Amino acid sequence: MTAHVPQARVGLSTASVYPGGVTSAFDIAARLGYDAVEVMVWTETISQEAGALRRVADHYGLPICSIHAPTLLLTQRVWGTDPWMKVDRSVELAEEVGADTVVLHPPFRWQRDYAAEFVDGVREREGRTHVRLAVENMFPWRARAREMQAYLPHWDPTQADYRNVTLDLSHTATAGSDALAMAGALGDRLAHVHLADGLGSYKDEHLVPGRGAQPCAELLETLAGQDFSGDIVVEVGTRRLDEEQRELDLMEALAFARLHFATAGPPAAE
């Protein structure tokens, strides 16, 4: 019996090369054999400009599969402070560079007006673009014995009526969530995957898949069996590594994804 490998792309997030930038991510992704790149919109000017991104993508021969909106705590002033402006500009950027997906985080608790209209606002915007707005699972913030629900309507996207969701396996580790159960609950609403790992620390670890306690291999095998057609994006932390070790880690992450995103025989639907 032959193995079936679905057509979903394995991409590299530019966040995986931080503090390196967009060009560094494309260079590493091309040399290692990734299929695409996810661009995290950051303070780096090139990450915000469609023309510059298209030129880099064309130079390296790799498509941009997704745009990560600047909705992180550290990017609150990128593209101003209006959260809907950030989302709209991210969608425009995705359209201009040919990306299929915009990844965005749910609102912080202090963004109450934004949070009150977030689910409806995301759905309304998806109705006027071909780009998927895939809301990412997050986690409660913890310090010692205290826990704070930092996101509204909730850090768990299964609690809201999103059409598309990004599943991040470092975040499931931090939250103590069951990644396989979450994927099962989402069903065909699971549109995008951030492939990473974690040991359940209060910190968002973003380990290389296979180095933590998350069911990374099982999830990939399950998705392969379902003929998953979204993108699988490696998003791991390498900022403390030198250039050689960073490349080795990203090579290992890609090999892990290639090995496990396959199933014996045709997918279940066939």
- Yes or no: say if 204 and 235 are a contact pair by the CB < 8 Å rule: no
CATH number of 9-261: 3.20.20.150
Instruction: Name the pTM for this structure.
Output: 0.95
pLDDT, one tens digit for every residue, the chain (270 residues): 567 788 899 999 999 999 999 999 999 999 999 999 999 999 999 999 999 999 999 999 999 999 999 998 889 889 999 999 999 999 999 999 999 999 999 999 999 999 999 999 999 999 999 999 999 999 998 877 677 789 999 999 998 999 999 999 999 999 999 999 999 999 999 999 999 999 998 889 999 999 999 999 999 999 999 999 999 999 999 999 999 999 999 999 999 999 999 987 665 554
Which of 134, 125, 74, 80 lies closest to 103, judged by CA?
Answer: 134
Instruction: For the chain, give every domain's residue range.
Output: 9-261
Q: Interhelix angle for 216-225 vs 179-186, to 10°?
A: 20
Q: How far apart are CA 44 and CA 211, in angstroms?
A: 30
Please give the full DSSP string across 117-137, using - where no structure is assigned.
THHHHHHHHHTT-SSEEEEEP
